[in-house]
Amino acid sequence: MREGAGTLLRRVGLSGVLLILLGVTSLFAEFLAPYRYDAVRFDLPYAPAVWPEMGKGGLVVPVLALRDPVRRRYVKSGRTVPLRFFCRGEAYTMWGIIRSSRHLVCARSPGRFYLMGGDLFGRDLFSRLLYGMRFSFLLSLLGVAISFSIGTVVGMVAGYAGGWTDRILMRLSEIVMAVPALYLLMGLRSIVPYGLSSEAITLIITGSLSLIGWASLSRVVRGLVLSLSGRDFILSAVAAGASPARVIFRHLLPNMRYYLLVSVTLSIPAFIVGEAGLSFLGLGLSEPHPSLGNILAESQSLETMNSAPWLLASGGLIVLLVVLFNRLGDLLREVPGEGNGSHR
């Protein structure tokens, strides 16, 4: 058992560490981001990256000046502001409200510390990516938890009960699987009124994604239950008078835990892409709240991509998260000696 755990840690090392690092970074977005996600600078639309430079008193941030408003070309004005650490930053939001918050680094106006550049409203892209990544992590984990809970319960009940219960539940899952996922999500979102809070929209997106994610898992779990039901340890438990609940939770579920762990890891990317797709189409989280999808939606036109190609970093982050989770799932699936033996 110890050897298997050590093998598991060695195999998932790089992918797991990167995902943990990204998750922890997004969890502390308020502190690590130089600005709030809604801190605007209308005088700096699509501003390029502005990095600190070494000045007389330490690190300073150059102040940009808009040279060509049409092509959005910027030059350094010659002024600088000091880069400050562990400071309280103040910035205007899109609604004209001054908000203050503590940050790891910040630069006072008229300077602006852009690690990756800004968007149309002068909001820091790096800060919005951190907030958007946290939204994607939390939504995907919550959605997977709901979807897998439903799929596991339905599959185990159908496989163990059999008969009409099995037929009804499996026909229901087939109906859900037969409906195109994108159209189902768009239909569910269209019946929800606009103007809701970001928390309500998050719950709606999570519920919509969970409604279409449980069906395929339930059929696989049903097949696993059917294959395990003929094993000696299951027949011995039934012969000893064990209740169906004890057989399911004491014998069947522990022997499927490894498969379920791998499936959870491989299903998280689907939730990330699904949320990003809805937000890209304008059906997900609404402005000014950031998500990876609505940040990517800002770079749809060729003019925007020419003026601010850094906005495509959101798409690159989506690809990175999907690849890391898929790689982690593949590595978990390749670990030998786990989940193959019978439970005692």
**Among all chains, which residue has been given the structure tokens 């699509």?**
46
138/265 same-domain check = yes
The predicted model gives 185-195 an average pLDDT of: 71
Higher per-residue pLDDT: 122 or 185: 122
Confidence of residue 202 (pLDDT cuts 50, 70, 90): confident
Domain boundary among 92, 122, 152: 122
233 and 273 belong to one structural domain: yes
- Report which listed range, 258-262, 280-284, 309-313, 335-339, is most confident: 309-313
Asked if 49 and 151 sit in the same domain, the reply is no
In-domain check, residue 341: no
Residue 86: the pLDDT is: 87
Q: Which of 292, 337, 288 is nearest to 313 (CA)?
A: 292
15 inside domain:
no
Is the predicted pLDDT of residue 342 greater than 60, yes or no? no
Q: What is the mean pLDDT of residues 290-317?
A: 87
pLDDT of residue 239: 82
CATH code at position 191: 1.10.3720.10
Per-chain mean pLDDT for the chain: 82
List, for residues 19-29, the tens digit of each pLDDT value: 889 999 999 99
End-of-domain residue from the set 78, 99, 122: 122
Question: Residue 94: pLDDT above 80?
Answer: no
Q: Quick one: pLDDT at residue 317?
A: 93
**Whether residue 264 sits in one domain with residue 139:** yes
Asked if residue 136 belongs to a domain, the reply is yes
> Considering Cα of 302, then 132, then 139, then 216, what sign does the dihedral take?
positive
Residue 284 has pLDDT above 60, yes or no: yes
Characterise 145 by phi-psi region: left (phi > 0), alpha (psi -120 to 50), beta (else). alpha
Residue 114 has a pLDDT of 92
pLDDT of 344: 43
Residues 334 and 235: their CA atoms lie apart, in Å, by 30
Q: How much is the pLDDT for 341?
A: 44
Q: Report pLDDT for 339.
A: 44
> Which comes out higher in pLDDT, residue 83 or 204?
83
Asked whether residue 237 falls in the same domain as residue 189, the answer is yes
Tell me which range, 137-146, 207-216, 284-293, 331-340, is most confidently predicted by mean pLDDT: 137-146
Among 105, 101, 55, residue whose Cα is nearest residue 80: 55
What integer pLDDT is reported at residue 338 of this predicted model? 47
Enter the pTM of the model: 0.84
pLDDT surpasses 80 at 337: no
Q: Which domain holds residue 301?
A: 128-334
Q: What is the SS3 assignment for 65?
A: strand
Residues 135 and 222 in one domain: yes
DSSP 69-85: TTTTEEEEEEEEEEEEE
pLDDT value, residue 235: 81
On whether both 161 and 299 belong to a single domain, the answer is yes
Q: How many residues does the chain have?
A: 344
- Mean local confidence (pLDDT), 34-39: 88
Give 136-145 pLDDT, tens digit per residue.
888 888 888 8
Confidence check: pLDDT of 3 > 60? no
3-state SS, residue 226: helix
The answer to whether 278 and 253 have CB atoms below 8 angstroms apart is: no
Q: Is the peptide bond before 110 cis (omega within 30 degrees of 0)?
A: yes
Domain end point (choices 104, 122, 140): 122
Are residues 39 and 98 located together in one domain of the fold?
yes
Helices 163-178 and 198-229, packing angle to 10 deg = 140
Amino acid at 242: A
How many domains would you assign to the chain?
2
Token look-up 């994108």 returns 182
Q: What is the mean pLDDT of residues 102-110?
A: 85
The verdict on 139 and 214 lying in the same domain is yes
Cα dihedral 270, 271, 272, 274 sign: positive
Distance CA 89, CA 36 (A): 9
For residue 195, name the pLDDT band (cuts at 50, 70, 90).
low
Asked whether 55 and 130 are in contact (CB, 8 A), the reply is no
pLDDT at 232: 80
Q: Are residues 152 and 295 in the same domain?
A: yes
Residues 264 and 250 in one domain: yes
Give 100's pLDDT tier (boundaries 50, 70, 90). Answer: low
CA distance 80 to 63: 5
User: Region 31-59: what's the mean pLDDT?
Assistant: 88
- The pLDDT, as a whole number, for residue 1 is 40
